[in-house]
Chain A
Amino acid sequence: MIEPILEVKDVVKFYEDKAVLNGVSFRVFKGATKIIIGASGSGKSTILKLIMGLDRPDEGTILVDGEDITKLDEQQLAHVRKKIGMVFQESALFDSLTVRENVGFRLYEEGVDEEEIDRKVREVLGFVGLEDAIDKWPSELSGGMKRRVALARALITEPQIMLYDEPTAGLDPITSRKINELIIALRDIKSVTGVFVTHRMRDAFTLATEYATNGDHEIKFRTEDNFLCIANTRFLLLRDGKIIFEGPDEVLRKSEDEYIKRFLA
């Protein structure tokens, strides 16, 4: 039987006596993407923080690659975090470091050779299309560029799992599209498992209906049709800390639930 790479079991999380998450359980298999949607304050970002070990659940367990991370201390979490990359809502770039230092942060910390860091930083910046911005400061970048640098920073050590916390929030449609394409490429070309949190349905459906293939010199993006249906990307809808829907986009669109219909409208 295939074991999930990420499993959240009966997780409960309180903030000041209010249950932000109330018995949340789901599994993500290797190479798959889980799109978590829900209104503001429904606990979407909290799930990502719990998976990354930035916060602890009050009840329940979280298994990353079969290891329960809820029992680990900050030092023990370090090796789990090497398997996970995270893109924060507002990029969270270190504003006193250049793009090179931001992207190569993890490698500098590990004491990797300077030349090797430069090579890897250029490679990953090339993937997000920002090789020219290597010596810029975060304050010199636009919102979309910052998100792409944040994506590059998370990807530098080739993590098995990527967590995206509203990576397109506040961006224009063209820049959002660029970010979504990068996430699709990571899923389909590099088989990176993903958890994508958003309340922008347009971005969510792009991820659920489009796929990437390796072209001659560039990555090509196509929409699923009668011959190919994307099966590795599923939705999870949160409402008041509870999962009220889990399944593929086709079922979500046809749901008769009043709340879901209003949410999708």
Chain B
Amino acid sequence: MPLSPTAAVKEVQDVSLLAAKAFGSIFRRPHYVRDILIQMELIGVGSLAVVMLTGFFTGAVLTLQTSKTLSTFGAVGYTGALVAVSLVRELGPVLASLMVAGRVGSGIASELGSMLVTEQINAMRALGTDPIKKLVVPRLLATISMLPVITIVADAMGILGGLFTSVFVLNITPNLYLNRAWDSLRYMDLFGGLLKPLVFGATLAIVSCHCGLRTYGGTQGVGRSTTQAVVASSILIIVSDLFLTRIILAYTR
């Protein structure tokens, strides 16, 4: 169903309010350390396999594609450099975040949505516990802290995938590939590549929690919220990537 302009503005307002409440609650007691650690395991460790596979094969494909273009300039040896920079600056953070959005965003929205429609959220409030502190803050902190780690894994696996293709398909020596990759990377590339997942993590956690917490319409509503969480966080990750890249490039020239 298309959103009316008023509903869209209200949606943005609700997401902003939830974000403000969640960030404001981070430093207020009680601190649910156990819940944060559980979420870190679910989000971080749970996403490793899918992110490793995605990173590896993206790196491998990227190497094949770029080597074809580079070969026209006689610069196949620079494949490692191009792959590493592309992965660390852009593909690693975005792909890892999109994978986590699909896996974790849907999980968060469906879990909170189910709790809402079965009145567990109301029961929690009735028992004197703030659902934002108990449910939203641990998911937010876990996503923000684990996404950069997952991104590093995706970057490493991508470079490894590229190395695999370079050595076995393009016949580039491992030393050449790795040296070019290492030499091409700057500290600001790493900074930008790790800043992005922080922002993407916060975005996908808040959007997914919001979608879950405004679920209506029973189990069908839970399904709808889950889809909306994945679609909205994926779009927001891609859109915010453009603005973040512009800002990072402006400050790192």
Contact = CB atoms under 8 A, between A and B. Distances in A.
B128 interface: yes
A74 B131 CA distance: 11
B17 interface: no
Contacts of A188: none
Interface string B120-143: 101111111110000000000000
B41 interface: no
A82 B127 CA distance: 7
Contact of B123 (A74, A75, A94, A111): A94
Nearest to A110: B128
A52 B126 contact: yes
A74 B124 CA distance: 12
A94 B120 contact: yes
Interface stretch (A30-38, A85-93, A201-209): A85-93
Interface residues of B, number: 14
B214 to A, nearest CB: 15
Contacts of B120: 92-95
A78 interface: yes
B147 to A, nearest CB: 24
A84 B122 CA distance: 14
A106 interface: yes
B233 to A, nearest CB: 23
Contact of B128 (A88, A92, A94, A109): A109
A199 B130 CA distance: 31
A81 B126 contact: yes
A73 to B, nearest CB: 11
Interface string A133-176: 00000000000000000000100000000000000000000000
Contacts of A90: 118-119
Contacts of A49: 122
Contacts of B129: 105-106, 109
A88 B127 CA distance: 12
Give the size category of A's interface with B.
Answer: 20 to 34
A54 interface: yes
Contact of A88 (B30, B115, B123, B130): B123
Contacts of B130: 74-75
A52 B120 CA distance: 14
Contact of B127 (A74, A89, A111, A153): A153
Interface in B36-90: none
A54 B125 contact: yes
Contacts of A92: 118-120, 122-123
A82 B126 CA distance: 9
A106 B118 CA distance: 19
A54 B122 contact: yes
A52 B126 CA distance: 7
Nearest to A80: B128
Contacts of A84: 126
Nearest to B28: A75
Nearest to B32: A109
A89 B119 contact: yes
B101 to A, nearest CB: 23
A54 B118 contact: no
B128 A86 contact: no
B122 A81 contact: no
A92 B129 CA distance: 15
Q: Which of the listed residues B30, B120, B127 has the most CB atoms from chain A within 10 Å of its own CB? A: B127
Contacts of A75: 130
Interface in B189-242: none
A82 B30 CA distance: 17
A109 B118 contact: no
B212 to A, nearest CB: 14
Most B CB within 10 A of own CB, among A78, A81, A109: A109
A262 to B, nearest CB: 31
A16 to B, nearest CB: 12
23 contacts: A49-B122, A53-B125, A54-B126, A74-B125, A75-B130, A81-B125, A81-B128, A84-B126, A86-B123, A88-B119, A88-B123, A89-B119, A90-B118, A90-B119, A92-B118, A92-B120, A93-B120, A94-B120, A105-B127, A106-B128, A109-B127, A109-B129, A153-B127
- 7 smallest CB-CB distances across A and B, nearest first, come from A92-B123, A92-B119, A86-B126, A78-B128, A81-B128, A88-B119, A106-B127
Interface of A: 49, 52-54, 74-75, 78, 81-82, 84, 86, 88-90, 92-95, 105-106, 109, 111, 153
Given A81-B128, A92-B120, A106-B127, 15 more contacts: A49-B122, A53-B125, A54-B125, A78-B128, A81-B126, A81-B127, A92-B119, A94-B115, A94-B123, A94-B124, A95-B118, A95-B120, A105-B129, A106-B128, A109-B127
